[in-house]
Amino acid sequence: MKKRFYGIKRLLAAVLTASLAFSAMGVTAFAADTVYQQRTHETVTKGVIYEKNSRMTTDGIQNIHVLTIDLTQSTLELKEVESTKEYGLKETVQKMLTDNGAIAGVNCDFFGLSGSYSASFGPVVTDGELISAGTSVNKESNQYAAYVLDEDGNSIFSYFKTWATFANAAKTIELASVNKVTSMVFPIYFDRNAADSTADLDKRFENLVKFVVVGDTITYISQKGETVSVPENGYLIVMSGDYYTNAASVFKVGDPVTLNISSTIDFDKIETAFGGGGLLLVDGQTAAASSIVASGRQPRTAFGVSQDGTKAIIMVVDGRGDSIGATHQEMADLMRTYGAYDAMHLDGGGSSTMAVKTVEDTTLEVKNTVSDGAERKVINSLGVFQTAPVGNVEQIVISPSTTHTQPGKAITFTVYGLDENYQRISLSADAVQLTAAGIEGTWNGFDFTPSATGDFAVSATYGDGLSAVSSLISCAQTSRLKATNADISISAVGKTAGIYVTAYDVDGFGRAVTNDAEYTVANPAIGTMNGNIFTAKATGSTYVKCSWGGKETYVVVTVGGAQKTTAPASSAAAADPMAGTVTKANDGAYYLNIAGALAASDPSKVDASVYASVRSRVRAAADSNADVAIYGGKCDVTTATVLDSMTWNGSYRFLNRGGASVVMMSAANGGIRATNASQYMKFTADLDAANNNNIIIVMDKTPSDFTSAAEADYFRAILNKYVDQGKNVFVVSCAGNAYWASNKDGVRYINLPNLWKADGRANTAYLLKFRMDGSNLTYEAVKV
């Protein structure tokens, strides 16, 4: 039997530096409209790009992970891999790819779910060598597709069938597989592509009998359960003891034998093959889903090739969580969007896993969110390999551990080299010269500790003229400290608990300072601190002062159910540098006032004269000493406003004035998507077109009150894009009875309370006043 296949020796292409792209889309790409998408691109190696595309659709968030492969790169290889520890052992995708030396990959074929061992369903051919094939797949109907690359470089996706028999002059027996080990009900062909001996098989199955075949002759028949070596120039036929006794005892040592393996594919002309699920695309058109393709939106994995054969696409779509998954049709549409002309499903559901080592990673990292909550162990993976040896440093890269820090808090810079194929090369701190521009501080290797506030960048130089500059880093004043848990209960003396502290700057960016903070126990008789770990010494209650950066916060620790003590108040937060007094002047700046909801939810509960006078007073304040007035909640005052204004009407509105973009959006139904998903497309398009330095978003619900925490995070990620562009971003919610303000990751979140309480009493009214002069902004919240 000729068993020559070949491994795909051409693969992936990628962009060197990570990039972030955001775009709005208003077309119906799938069953749901895609209204906005966020895309990141990272280099894996020359010829390999990893992309994450997070789309907001009218049905929810859809997280898509894509490896794009340039099949013209000669040093890249794509092949199926399995456990290096034991043949047929299930392992996670991350471990399997790591152990085999891959730089990226996904779960591959379908397999039996029960037990720690299994076999893939489809054929496996690597570097022209037939590794395994089963004879039961697609016998009754076309269910499991496979991909093959022939010796002429042609990619073929189809439903293949394989047959295998073994015979002497007296009898012919059917073989269940070539090197696929499952239940051992029927005999299998077994060679050194599986293992060097049957030791592992004999641990899993009792009383196996092995025929040793060399030169088309049976040279040895084992005893039941006897472990034998696999001949280098031959193979084994392995069967259960019962099968041998009942159906194969006519085979004898010295018998000439015939092995026949046939298939709907010509194994003699195949270079690479691996199995999958049903076909997705055939000649650019969506294929009918086979019976094993799960219906509805599910986590899915797919593989495809472009029409000209120069590009491969590997894709995972997350599902059963924050991401809604994809239907068969949606998966076909997605693969076609990314350039696939022919494609098939790989195993999906809880198996769907993509692991990648980008140039920024030191190890393979699982990039998608697996639906089981942890990686499922699978039988095989589709791996991407860079076969070129590591070359000389052609360029260097520098990246900070964060783009926001505080005086006294060290920031670590990662500096590494890349060869011509973008393979990562470690550099020592002694070999790199680092310089911080725009700020004072001290260096310790790759760690820099700023001693003042300000924006700065770090340049790195290496060797003969190679240099790189980091992204801009902001060092802002420490505003406050916060413990993750400010109230700790310890059950008994001798038990311990950890204290974890975060320092937030004036813009709301946090850095962990657990290992930097100083801890002082108010009553050492109750317990002691060792680093950030509190050890209980006696029953009682005390508090721990946590100090760093000139700020303190306190953690109450209670041992053994004692009465809890009271801790002092934490240090007051530092003043927001944007907050100040706003007084209208003829100074060329632009002034804007925002009022909350002036209308009562039930006007019948409010005295008419009080209703009119209070509303008029707040309305007069909003209309005075500003260029524009914004009424951010329901307003039933019908008299004309004095100023240019925009009034809440429950739908999307946009105002572009004086270097400020004011957006009104509704999340009344629990989120922007559920209320009107098209608002995503509208507000991002309007903000991008206006390109103003100041962005003010007025809503009827703050993001933390969205029904979906995932959507809240998605919305904040969009806002953070504008923060990263250096814009001033405010989210003003107009709901409830309380005024509050919070800075988080550079965004100012402020709530203006309703003018009227539910019982008809007048609430304390607030007015939010802005002064804007280019990128300079000052705001003030005043009681009216």
CB neighbours (10 Å) of residue 440?
11
Q: What are the pLDDT digits (tens) for 343-379?
A: 999 999 999 999 999 999 999 999 999 999 999 999 9
Do the beta carbons of residue 208 and residue 287 sit within 8 Å? Answer: no
Q: What would the two tokens of residue 676 be? A: 């009107």
**Domain stops at, among 211, 236, 256:** 256
Domain identity same for 611 and 721: yes
Write out the residue range of the structural domain in which residue 449 sits. Answer: 395-475
pLDDT at 23: 44
pLDDT over 60 (residue 2): no
Q: Does residue 133 form part of some domain?
A: no
pLDDT over 80 (residue 642): no
Q: Does residue 344 form part of some domain?
A: yes
Write the DSSP assignment of 100-135 as a string of letters.
HT-SEEEE-S-B--SSSB--BSS-EEETTEEEEEES
Say how far apart CA 745 and CA 109 lie, in whole Å. Answer: 42
Mean of all residue pLDDT scores within the chain: 94
The confidence band for 20, taking pLDDT boundaries of 50, 70 and 90, is very low
Mean pLDDT confidence for 453-476: 96
Say how far apart CA 381 and CA 101 lie, in whole Å. Answer: 12
pLDDT over 90 (residue 126): yes
Domain identity same for 686 and 545: no
Q: Does residue 440 form part of some domain?
A: yes
Q: Which residue in the block uniquely carries the two structure tokens 């709301």?
A: 508
Domain identity same for 184 and 85: no
CB neighbours (10 Å) of residue 302?
28
pLDDT at 105: 98
pLDDT over 80 (residue 1): no
Strand partners for 21: 39
Mean pLDDT confidence for 85-94: 97
Cα–Cα–Cα angle for 777, 779, 784, rounded to 5 degrees: 155
pLDDT at 640: 62
Q: What are the pLDDT digits (tens) for 256-285?
A: 999 999 999 988 899 999 999 999 999 999
Domain identity same for 707 and 672: yes
The confidence band for 763, taking pLDDT boundaries of 50, 70 and 90, is very high
pLDDT at 268: 87
Cβ neighbours for 285, distance < 8 A, ≥ 6 positions apart: none
Domain identity same for 668 and 606: yes
Q: Does residue 777 form part of some domain?
A: yes
**Domain stops at, among 475, 492, 527:** 475
Q: Does residue 594 form part of some domain?
A: yes
Cβ neighbours for 151, distance < 8 A, ≥ 6 positions apart: 6, 128, 269, 270, 271
Tell me the pTM.
0.93
Q: What would the two tokens of residue 773 be? A: 């002069």
Domain identity same for 450 and 497: no
Between residues 51 and 15, the one the model is more confident about: 51
Q: What would the two tokens of residue 618 be? A: 């707040």
Q: What would the two tokens of residue 667 be? A: 């999340």
pLDDT at 764: 94
Domain identity same for 470 and 493: no
pLDDT at 31: 63
Q: What are the pLDDT digits (tens) for 301-315?
A: 999 999 999 999 999
The confidence band for 735, taking pLDDT boundaries of 50, 70 and 90, is very high
Could you tell me whether strands 694-699 and 728-733 are parallel, antiparallel, or unpaired per DSSP bridges?
parallel
pLDDT at 724: 95
Say how far apart CA 234 and CA 294 lie, in whole Å. Answer: 41
Mean pLDDT confidence for 533-537: 98
pLDDT over 70 (residue 54): yes
Amino acid identity, residue 285? Q
pLDDT at 11: 25
Say how far apart CA 389 and CA 387 lie, in whole Å. Answer: 6
Domain identity same for 50 and 191: no
CA-derived radius of gyration, the chain: 33
What total number of domains does the chain contain? 5
The confidence band for 611, taking pLDDT boundaries of 50, 70 and 90, is confident
pLDDT over 90 (residue 60): yes
